[in-house]
Amino acid sequence: MWRRGLGNRRFRGADELRRHIIFRHFSPGLGTSPARPRGENAVLDRYFKYPGVLRRLRSGALGKEMDRIAAHFFDIGYKPASAKIYISRLGRFSEFANGDAGTVTIGQDAIDRFVLSLQTASPRIAIRTAIAHARKVAPERFSTPCRRGMPDPDGQLLTAYLDHLRHVRGLEPKTCEGLLKGARRILAWLHDHHPAQPLTAITGEHVLGLVGHLLSLSANNSTRSSTTSYVRTFLRFLRWAGLNGQDLARFVPRTPCWRLQHLPPQLAWEDIRRAIDAIDVTAASGARDRALLLLLATTGLRNKEIRMLELRDIHWRTAEVFVRRTKGKRDRVVPLLDEAGAALADYVLYARPKIDNSCVFLSCAPPPRPFKCPASISTIVRSRLERSGVKLTGAAGAHLLRHGLATQLVRQRRPINEVADLLGHRSIDTTAIYVKVALPQLTDVALPFPGAAS
């Protein structure tokens, strides 16, 4: 059981719950990590007891740093069993490298030879992970590996393009990443079909051939529209930077893409409710996942917004959640319902790892850390839906619950402007897609069928 010390104590009333949250979480001295074992040079004794093992670990090429490395595993929250595995593998590598390194720094060739000496893939992955941790703790013991391969001939151009996107256009990092990938595809096509030809010599005929090739790689209208968009952006950069004096962007054809031509992906509200109720909250991961799904299902937060949510953004007294750095670059406030607030309080008080990080949702597997990848949240949502027996036909993630909330609100005849404000849409036209699934409202405006009895 993860609720230590308080058993199955439950709080009655929103006021009592919020008072306990504010006192428990923001009181000084609470929620901190446990103290490190005393003695910086004796941390290995926490994991190993036999004197012979301790002497062997402290005698290799990394012998003087092994206690610091062990303290590093303790500080970042590794379980003792996992830390012992990494330390043991580092001990074997330390003995192997001792004959080559001694007091000299350990080179990449020694690491590669030791990894190749292992028979299977699992220990190879483990030792590379352990060595990466050792590099963080004692970088002075490792020599910087030399970079192999030829330099990127387009590196300088792509660096200038990325700088333009970030500082001149002011685009988000994720958007810049997609545009940079598109620029690489454009340059690769130019190198293959027009080698040794400078960018100043590109003409409209070249652009039409490039666009035809790129559009042939995709059949989805949305993808084709995005493809022509990033081609236009790169060509405009070439003119802005003085690399080509022509307005080549005008040769890129417009790809029709009707935003309201499809129904939004949706999930029945009963399925969302069943998935939330099926979560076992006696485990720390269950308490986290229930709070996460309830927050997604009742506030409509996006994947990035739920990952960036911080403890200071939860306003317990006013039952509100302050959402920062939204997709539209506008902050907004969403209501925190009683059930979602209670689940979030249980997670923060009893199940959330006590580490020095302000993000609300953290990984339960050691070392506990914030979620950096969108796939992590999507995997949690999809697994919880599948465990409850919900059949998923396509991609499922945090956005599926967002669609479910919007569809449910529209079906309940909530004003469309309120739904747009909750979801953080700049334009009400973006929210209008959910009207297409509001059958009760559509029946009110349906015209009689021609020829039917009046």
Report residue 315 CA to chain centroid gap. Answer: 24
Backbone angles phi, psi at 51, to 5 degrees: -60, -35
Q: Which of 89, 116, 113 has the alpha carbon at shortest distance from 100?
A: 113
Structure tokens at 147: 């970079």
Q: Which of the residues 89, 224, 399, 403 is marked catalytic? A: 399
399 included as an active-site residue? yes
Report residue 76 CA to chain centroid gap. Answer: 20
426 included as an active-site residue? no
206 included as an active-site residue? no
Q: Which of the residues 89, 224, 402, 403 is marked catalytic? A: 402
Considering Cα of 385, then 387, then 391, then 393, what sign does the dihedral take? positive
Q: Which of 321, 353, 313 has the alpha carbon at shortest distance from 424?
A: 321
- Interhelix angle 80-98/121-137, nearest 10 degrees: 90
Q: Starting at the earlier edge strand, list the strands of the sheet with 314-315.
A: 314-315, 320-323, 332-335
50 included as an active-site residue? no
89 included as an active-site residue? no
Pairing of strands 314-315, 332-335: unpaired
Q: Which of the residues 18, 141, 290, 302 is marked catalytic? A: 302
Q: Are 310 and 429 in contact (CB under 8 A)?
A: no
CA dihedral 434, 440, 444, 448 (to 10 degrees): 100
425 included as an active-site residue? yes
Q: Which of the residues 174, 273, 317, 327 is marked catalytic? A: 327
Active-site residues, by number, are 302, 327, 399, 402, 425, 434
